[in-house]
A = this chain, B = another copy of it.
């Protein structure tokens, strides 16, 4: 646990009933977060979880960046759903991200809805919920906020930054924005810029949310509604993109739900239908609709090369970070070709980079699932980087 000085910056257990376990770092008006849109966000706060202990050299910290609908609850039960942490397969004692060796941090992104400042927070100017008055944020903004948290924790250089999907975008952005503060980086199932097809799927999701009259132009909190149906449809659409055709076929095929013959109705005859409906309805219990708009938008805007005159390699030139780029063969949301482009740019920038394309039929979701080959690679990469970092005997 880090000690934080000053009452305005007090690190404390969140009091909110719905985020009982997270620590919260608050930043007052004297420490604004400068956003890409030109707004200085202040005050703001970041909710985060830590696992393991920071060593005396402060050289064993790993930052995990979460994906679009993830949060900071990596390896503890989720305070809303009660389900296990989303990366409990990878993070824990003796696991690849070994909490007996590393000090692991994960913070809810700016714009999120699990305790960090976002559109569901209170706008200090008006005293009401931000809603769509919240400034549009970007992946670089998320990373800038994380860097302020890492400062607050007294950590100069992160041993590693790790994440998949939107989390992987943050990993890459960390390496571009703060190259000297990242000893090693593990970007998984991601890209350096969002593709047209991915923007299209996100726009579909946003339109589904905004089409719901209960969205109330983003003012649903004050008006006591929630665009459950719209957000549910958005989640269904996204969920299809997280799975592969093969995974859906293996998991459900054309199997019927509790029946042998079709009902000739619009009931969920097929198992895949009831699965999707469940994905939609359970998601809306734990996620804020406006956050969904903001975070998808941040991913759409992401384009590292655009900030470097269109030359991706220039963004990484001279980096001393060690990279391990991971993709999955059946991921069609962030296909291997995207990871390969990242690797080429890293090579052209002179980076130390290894690349693993992992054979699986489980689609984009593979990064969240029990994929032993992926775990082995993550373990070996961190083990090797740890030796160079002088962490060799940390957990022996």
The 0/1 profile, CB within 8 Å of B marked 1, for residues 122-143 of chain A is 0000000000100110000000
A residues contacting the other copy or chain, number (CB 8 A): 58
Report B-chain residues with C-beta under 8 Å of the C-beta of A9.
none
Report B-chain residues with C-beta under 8 Å of the C-beta of A268.
203
Report B-chain residues with C-beta under 8 Å of the C-beta of A265.
136
State the A residues within 8 Å of B (CB): 36-38, 132, 135-136, 193-197, 199-201, 203-204, 206-208, 210-213, 229-230, 232-233, 236-237, 240, 243, 245, 248-249, 251-254, 262, 264-266, 268-270, 272-273, 276-277, 280, 293, 297, 300-301, 303, 306, 332, 335
Q: Are A254 and B207 in contact (CB-based, < 8 A)?
A: no
Report B-chain residues with C-beta under 8 Å of the C-beta of A201.
240
Given contacts A253-B196, A264-B37, contact A203 B273 (CB under 8 A): yes
Q: Are A195 and B245 in contact (CB-based, < 8 A)?
A: yes
Given contacts A203-B272, A254-B303, contact A197 B248 (CB under 8 A): yes
Given contacts A135-B264, A272-B199, A276-B204, contact A254 B211 (CB under 8 A): no
Residue of A200, A262, A332 with most partner-chain B CB within 10 A = A200
Closest beta carbon of chain B to A249's beta carbon, Å: 5
Report B-chain residues with C-beta under 8 Å of the C-beta of A236.
200, 203-204, 207
Report B-chain residues with C-beta under 8 Å of the C-beta of A232.
207, 211
Given contacts A240-B201, A264-B37, A265-B136, contact A277 B207 (CB under 8 A): yes
Number of copies: 2
Complex Cα gap A203–B276 (Å): 8
Q: Are B197 and A262 in contact (CB-based, < 8 A)?
A: no
The 5 closest A-B pairs by CB, nearest first: A211-B229, A37-B264, A136-B264, A196-B248, A197-B245
Complex Cα gap A99–B303 (Å): 50
Residue of B nearest to A233 (CB): B208
Complex Cα gap A297–B264 (Å): 9
Report B-chain residues with C-beta under 8 Å of the C-beta of A194.
254
Residue of B nearest to A277 (CB): B207
Complex Cα gap A199–B236 (Å): 12
Q: Are B240 and A200 in contact (CB-based, < 8 A)?
A: yes
Residue of A236, A266, A270, A332 with most partner-chain B CB within 10 A = A266
Report B-chain residues with C-beta under 8 Å of the C-beta of A206.
266
Contacts beyond the supplied A38-B264, A136-B265: 6 A-B pairs with Cβ under 8 Å: A37-B264, A197-B243, A199-B272, A200-B240, A200-B272, A203-B236
Can you pick out 12 interface pairs between chain A and chain B where the beta carbons lie within 8 Å of each other? Answer: A135-B264, A195-B249, A196-B272, A200-B248, A200-B276, A203-B236, A207-B276, A245-B335, A254-B303, A266-B293, A266-B297, A269-B300
Report B-chain residues with C-beta under 8 Å of the C-beta of A273.
199-200, 203
Complex Cα gap A196–B237 (Å): 14
Residue of B nearest to A208 (CB): B233
Complex Cα gap A132–B253 (Å): 27
Report B-chain residues with C-beta under 8 Å of the C-beta of A213.
213
Residue of B nearest to A204 (CB): B236
- Among B208, B248, B297, B306, the residue within 8 A (CB) of A208 is B208
Closest beta carbon of chain B to A140's beta carbon, Å: 12
Residue of B nearest to A212 (CB): B211
Residue of B nearest to A302 (CB): B254
Complex Cα gap A208–B280 (Å): 11
